[in-house]
Amino acid sequence: MLPVIMSGGSGSRLWPQSRSLYPKQFLPLVNDQTMFQNTLSRLEGLESVSEPLVIANEEHRFLVAEQFRQMERNASAIILEPVGRNTAPAVALAALKAIALAEDQEPLLLVLAADHVIDDVPAFHQAVEAALPAARDGKLVTFGIVPTAPETGYGYIMASSEFVESSKQLAPVEQFVEKPDLKTAEEYVASGNYFWNSGMFLFKASRYLEQLKTFRPDILNACQQAMTVQNEDLDFVRLDEAAFKACPDDSIDYAVMEKTKDAVVVPLDAGWSDVGSWTSLADISEKDEAGNSTLGDVLLQDTRNTYVRSEKKLIATVGVENLVITESDDAILVSHKDRVQDVKKVVEQLKAENRTEAKLHRKVYRPWGAYDSIDHGERFQVKRITVKPGAQLSLQKHYHRAEHWIVVKGTALVTNGEQQILLTENQSTYIPVGEVHRLENPGKFDLELIEVQSGSYLGEDDIVRFEDTYGRS
């Protein structure tokens, strides 16, 4: 069985913590691990499971690799999508790669999202094991979440009436239904044979491709074309960009699951949440007697049913209720709990105004480490740079800015034009405009330095790379 982790989402409803270049699946929103790492962890204990295959946005490639590195795990492959084309093409890419990796064997794909919460891992394992015989027999298994309330924010799966009349662990799917109104949702829950659509699946790779060929041959053809010229780059599989951009955009539900006659559903009652909004995160968070959930440095006075999350600053509330208040390094969100679905409109406005807060945090992670933009003005910018042991930045130059580097911790090996300089704490160097330079950490501990940039243009796109360990252009 090959787990396939879908990791292409942007999580815009969880702004300001979730940004398009650092989305929710790579954040520790629920516990000390990121949601991606929680997904990896819950695979432990399943029998005959390969290392997972990941489908990710090309812009997230180093984030995915870092998540594996921190857990001392490896991926079977990390397939990079140059553009998002929804779940039907993504699973097709995974199936094609799985068959190539498996050689003579018949791989089973366990398709999971990178950003779900599942509290009861043993119950999840039991559901997967219950689904295995049907998947081996050529069925396309979906996992239906046993509803805890008449939720209007999820699509539903209607199981065959025989499920209610027996004690079977799975049943044929009668139909998939869209998000209902409240009255309809109440009827669904009362019936006993409707489940929330989790977006998790188990099936043979070859069987999925057969069904995709029957119902959406255009998607299959585009994916096959994109994979024919795949490029292996470090840990990553790069696709033919033009071929994949030509692929239609469709979900696995619309493309295959709603059309096939071989769909079956396995109930899953395991404390599941897709953490799709701040209220859903509040719902699964520990609460005080007044219904408040807090994280970080928070003081509450006469506050009820409010979620408050602090990362850097003290947040104090007085006389409020039913709010979401969350603070990141460069933004604060205050929303009524009934309006958190509209947070995405804030992100749309930020994008329309070309503001960086839609894409990046103040602290930006790179394959070699990270930088934190701690101050900036009209012709200057100050960053705190951290370089991991043994890592190096690209050999580069800038047309519009000069840089001062001051080491505050560790040892730096600096290429500055024709010179190579070894700097330790409290030592510095100056990089003139247009000079070729590189920063390396030859030590065994993190290198930290302060960079002061000055010049007429300080954008991140003012960079010419001559050599790069990480394959960046």
Residue 233 lies in a domain: yes
DSSP E strand stretches across 269-411: 272-273, 293-295, 298-301, 307-309, 315-318, 323-327, 332-336, 363-366, 369-376, 380-387, 395-397, 401-409
Is residue 352 one of the residues assigned to a domain?
no
Identify the pLDDT of residue 62: 86
Question: 417 lies in a domain?
Answer: yes
Quick: pLDDT tens for 223-275: 999 998 767 766 789 999 999 999 999 999 999 999 999 999 999 999 999 99
- Please report the pLDDT score of residue 258 as a whole number: 94
Do 242 and 287 belong to one domain?
no
Domain containing residue 409: CATH number: 2.60.120.10
Q: Where are the alpha helices (DSSP H) in 34-86?
A: 35-41, 61-70
Tell me the C-alpha distance between 285 and 305, whole Å. 12
Residue 51 token pair = 């290392």
Tokens standing for residue 122: 């043993």
Q: Is the pLDDT of residue 288 over 80?
A: yes
Whether the per-residue pLDDT at 308 is higher than 90: the answer is yes
CA distance to 29, 142, 169, 206, 388, per residue, from 160 (Å): 37, 14, 12, 26, 55
Give the tens place of pLDDT for each residue, 169-208: 788 999 999 999 999 999 999 988 899 999 999 999 999 9
* Together in a domain, 304 and 161: no
Of the candidates 250, 273, 296, which is a domain's last residue? 273
Residue 11, pLDDT > 60, answer: yes
| Contacts made by residues 372-375, CB under 8 angstroms, sequence distance 24+ | 372/329
Q: Are residue 316 and residue 339 in the same domain, yes or no?
A: yes
Q: Are residues 174 and 294 in the same domain?
A: no
pLDDT of residue 470: 78
Residue 308 shares a structural domain with residue 265: no
Tell how far CA 442 is from the center of its chain.
31
Count helices and strands in the chain by DSSP H and E runs: 12, 30
Chain-centroid distance of CA 222 in Å reads 24
pTM: 0.88
286 and 368 both lie in a single domain: no
- Residue 226 is assigned to a structural domain of this protein: yes
- Which residues, including other chains, have CB under 8 Å from residue 317's CB and lie 6 or more apart? 298, 299, 300, 301, 303, 306, 308, 323, 325
Q: Exposed (0-12), middle (13-18) or buried (19+): which is 141, by Cβ within 10 Å?
A: buried
Q: Tell whether 302 and 410 lie within a shared domain.
A: no
Residue 349: inside a domain: no
**Which residue segment(s) compose the domain that 287 sits in?**
278-343
Residue 88: inside a domain: yes
The answer to the question of residue 140 being in a domain is yes
Mean pLDDT of the chain: 93
Q: Is 125 helix (H, G, I), strand (E, B) or coil?
A: helix
Residue 220 has pLDDT above 70, yes or no: yes
Residue 73 belongs to a domain with what CATH number? 3.90.550.10
Q: How far apart are CA 148 and CA 119, in angstroms?
A: 14
Q: Which residues does residue 295 pair with via DSSP β-bridges, in sequence order? A: 309
**268 plus 368 within the same structural domain:** no
11 shares a domain with 33: yes
Contact at 8 Å (CB) between 185 and 151? yes
Instruction: Give the pLDDT of residue 234.
Output: 64
Residues paired with residue 315 on neighbouring β-strands, in sequence order: 298
Interval 72-103: pLDDT, tens: 999 999 999 999 999 999 999 999 999 998 87
- CB distance 429 to 416 below 8 Å: yes
Contacts of 111 by beta carbon, 8 Å cutoff, 6+ apart: 4, 6, 91, 94, 200, 201, 202, 252
Q: Per-residue pLDDT tens for 115-166?
A: 999 999 999 999 999 999 999 999 999 999 999 999 888 999 999 876 554 4
Q: How confident is the model at residue 108 (pLDDT cuts 50, 70, 90)?
A: very high
* Total number of domains constituting the chain: 3
Same domain, 331 and 282: yes
- Identify whether residues 27 and 127 lie together within a single domain: yes
* Sign of CA pseudo-dihedral 377, 315, 384, 68: negative
Q: How far apart are CA 387 and CA 353, in angstroms?
A: 32
Domain boundary among 273, 289, 322: 273
pLDDT in tens, 23-72: 999 999 999 999 999 999 999 999 889 999 999 999 898 899 889 989 99
Q: Is residue 357 part of a domain?
A: no
Asked if 256 and 304 sit in the same domain, the reply is: no
What pLDDT was estimated at residue 473?
Answer: 67
Amino acid 468: pLDDT: 87
Residue identified by tokens 């794909």 is 109
